[in-house]
Structure 1
Amino acid sequence: MSRLSVLAYIFGAVFFLVSCSFAVFYGYKILTHELPVEKKPVEKYDYHFVLVTEELDNEYWRLVEQGAKAAAKDYGVMLEYAGPKQANIDDHLKTIEMSAASKVDGILTQGLSDEQFTPLIDRVVASGIPVITVDTDAANSKRMAYIGTDNYYSGFLAGKALIQDTKGQANVAIITGSFFANHQQLRVKGFQEAVKGEKGIHIIDIVESEISRVRAAEKAYQIIKDHPEVNAFYGTSALDGIGIAQVVDRFVKPGKIYIVGFDTLPESLEYIRKGTIQATVVQEPYEMGYRGVKMMINLIQGKPVEPIVHTNTRIMRIGDLPVSHLYRMEESN
């Protein structure tokens, strides 16, 4: 073998060994996950807020959350969405306390009960953390501002809608989400004020659903059994109207019982399309969440903020449905 051939052989062997070494080295890196990875940039934010709701998976509050998160994205805020899985005032209060203990920059929440929420909100504000109430006010507390529905007026609108649609002749049962929540009380009071001068309208019963569509359905079924004279229902929360409609749709002839409810969740709109629900009070939960975050930023920055901001409230009937729902109604016919 010539000297040139020997050198070529040695060079090839060395190249082969080096290649194998690199293959083993990088194979080991892959197996042990030690290869360098691209680091994701840490998202920067100016403020840290918490939105505390009465019930995490409530569809209405998910709309509030969507609005708040949209504003948080637009204005450089880290927003947490927290609260009990099912409506529970004690758990709601604990969530507010934990949020305050973590030294967040601001808390947005409901003021469900003056007796329980006012002392806590006052302590949180005294500790230097601003509180804005959303949807339900704690007017006697030291909260910095309120944004949401005028709940008394919304109940009054529901009562006027019932008078108009029933021509002032109805035996009404009211199913309310809570006997103790401020906003539910105001919605009942507004309704009562609207119908009190109508001789042909009688409120037969008022029961509580505990913010549960299942409980609302159970209560509606029991009322229909116990009070066959009832020919109208008023539900003061989104889930109340849906629960009532489920029972009426299944057990009562169409058009025999009038229903006025709250909100425009997909199921509510479907029952309006079918004619089971005749009217609903429209609120603006997305706007509450979005504008609530903006108000909190303004407060922290020392800008003027109105202490009470009422979002729009109106009545929706079948003629006011979005075009997409009307098309579906034509197709079903």
Structure 2
Amino acid sequence: MLKQPSFWIGVVIALAVVGWFRMNASEDAEVVREKPSKIAFVTAGEGEFWQAAVAGAEDAAEELGVELDVRMPKQTESVQEQNELLTTLSSGKYDGIAVSPVDAEGQTPVINSLAADRPVVTYDSDSPLSARHGFVGTSNFSAGLRAGTLVKQALPAGGEVLVLMVNRTKSNMQDRRAGFKTRIEESPNPEQEVVDQRYQVVDYLTDEGDDQRCRENIQESLEEHPDLKCIVGMNARHGPILLSVLKEAGKLGQIKLITFDTLPETLQGVRDGSISATIAQDPFKYGNEAVRMLVSLHSGDPQYLPVVGRGAIHVSVEAIDNSNIDEFQKRVEQRIKRSKKPMTAKAL
């Protein structure tokens, strides 16, 4: 749901005033200090994906000797709550802010105001048109391509496919959809420039982070499309919800599932064959690198960021299925043992 213009104007004015005050509070203040003392880390929710990102951020902050203030919105994917948190943070003495924006375009003014007098880094989901100083995450277009490939592998004869999204405002959702659409329509014959007619995407449904709405979307689609062959869930929440709804409908195992991320329920679904494959990201790495990037930006290290891509650092994704799930989980366990912080966090 789009916010009223007055809401956005109020947020921008508040941030602009705070930014002016900070910039003019001391004539002797240096533009860049040698070492940041306090960094804010803002998620887009409080689930396990975000807890892993926080664990990575805390691990880097402890190693680098930086105070980390973690803010986890209680309402998943809420633009308004996230903006309220960012507005509050703008009045504090933070040397850098990492945020996973819910609305790539709509939050550009907010991010621009924050970035006027301190480094701002986005992670997981980007705001590419904003003045943010860097981005850490995967190439979500490539991740969408991978999802399309997995559908074609799981369903070689083709059929009707449903795609679940959180919203149409997050850059990662936009890019995943674009990549998926490119691959699913790609001709099986490289010599022919035609759309692959074997696959029909019946809809791209959004739920705005609401689990009940997601369940209802799936249930309604099952009724409207009795011949549905595959469902793709493009958010970490979707895997467990899909397993639950299909089990209740008596269709678990009858419809191919391709999901994102590695919640315990999702990995168990991969292990027992209910999910054909899931696309694993590395949120711990996102959080860890976002903090390291902010520290380097604040200290003026010109060697840290890439010279192209406006500071974008992409971390690869990996398709997890029955052939590699054991090895993947061993790697995760080793990461947890090496990390100084457990992958748990609470909303603030």
Normalising by the residue count of structure 1, what TM-score does the alignment of the two structures yield?
0.80
**Given residue 319 of structure 2, which amino acid in structure 1 is its aligned partner?**
I
1:158-211 deviation digits (Å, cap 9, x = unpaired): 001111121151210111111222211211111111111321011012211222
Residues 284, 311 of structure 1: 8 Å contact kept: yes
Determine what percentage of the aligned residue pairs are the same residue.
Answer: 27
| 1:241 counterpart residue number | 239
Q: Residue 90 in 1 paired to residue 94 in 2? A: no
| 1:21 counterpart residue number | none
**Given residue 244 of structure 1, which amino acid in structure 2 is its aligned partner?**
L
Q: Secondary structure at the match of 2:228?
A: coil
Residues 209, 240 of structure 1: 8 Å contact kept: no
| 2:15 counterpart residue number | none
Residues 46, 76 of structure 1: 8 Å contact kept: no
Residues 163, 195 of structure 1: 8 Å contact kept: yes
1:112-141 deviation digits (Å, cap 9, x = unpaired): 323321111111111x12100000111111
| 2:141 counterpart residue number | 152
Residues 149, 283 of structure 1: 8 Å contact kept: yes
Residues 166, 206 of structure 2: 8 Å contact kept: yes
Q: CA deviation at 1:323?
A: 5.5
**Equivalent pairs, count:** 280
**Given residue 291 of structure 2, which amino acid in structure 1 is its aligned partner?**
V
User: Which sections of structure 2, spanning at least 5 residues, go unmatched?
Assistant: 1-34, 187-195, 331-348
Q: CA deviation at 1:246?
A: 1.4
| 2:43 counterpart residue number | 53
The match for 1:285 among 274, 283, 286 is 283
Work out the CA distance in 1 between the residues paired with 2:313 and 2:224.
42
Call closer, same or farther: CA 1:214–1:272 in 2, change over 3 Å.
Answer: farther
| 1:321 counterpart residue number | 325
Work out the CA distance in 2 between the residues paired with 1:46 and 1:122.
20
Q: Residue 65 in 1 paired to residue 54 in 2? A: yes
| 1:113 counterpart residue number | 103
Q: CA deviation at 1:54?
A: 1.2
User: Which sections of structure 1, spanning at least 5 residues, go unmatched?
Assistant: 1-44, 327-333
Work out the CA distance in 2 between the residues paired with 1:121 and 1:324.
36
The match for 2:316 among 312, 316, 319 is 312
Q: CA deviation at 1:274?
A: 1.8
**Given residue 262 of structure 2, which amino acid in structure 1 is its aligned partner?**
T
Alignment of 1:130-279 (within 5 A): 130-197=119-186, 198-279=196-277
Work out the CA distance in 1 between the residues paired with 2:163 and 2:142.
17
Call closer, same or farther: CA 1:323–1:143 in 2, change over 3 Å.
Answer: closer
Bigger helix fraction: 1
Q: Secondary structure at the match of 1:133?
A: strand
1:90-126 deviation digits (Å, cap 9, x = unpaired): 1101111111111211100023323321111111111
Residues 170, 202 of structure 1: 8 Å contact kept: yes
Q: Secondary structure at the match of 2:197?
A: coil
TM-align CA RMSD? 1.8
Name the stretch that deviates more: 112-121 or 171-180.
112-121
Q: CA deviation at 1:221?
A: 1.6
Q: Secondary structure at the match of 1:286?
A: helix
Residues 112, 183 of structure 1: 8 Å contact kept: no
**Given residue 53 of structure 1, which amino acid in structure 2 is its aligned partner?**
T
Residues 243, 252 of structure 2: 8 Å contact kept: no
After superposing on structure 2, the runs of 4+ consecutive aligned residues of structure 1 that deviate more than 4 Å are 323-326
**Given residue 123 of structure 1, which amino acid in structure 2 is its aligned partner?**
S
Q: Secondary structure at the match of 1:179?
A: coil
**Given residue 197 of structure 2, which amino acid in structure 1 is its aligned partner?**
K
Residues 213, 242 of structure 1: 8 Å contact kept: no
The structure showing larger relative contact order (alpha-carbon pairs under 8 Å, at least 6 residues apart) is: 2
| 1:6 counterpart residue number | none
Name the stretch that deviates more: 245-254 or 189-198.
245-254
Q: Residue 123 in 1 paired to residue 113 in 2? A: yes
1:48-71 deviation digits (Å, cap 9, x = unpaired): 11111111x211111000000011
1:65-100 deviation digits (Å, cap 9, x = unpaired): 000001111110111111320121011011111111
| 1:101 counterpart residue number | 91
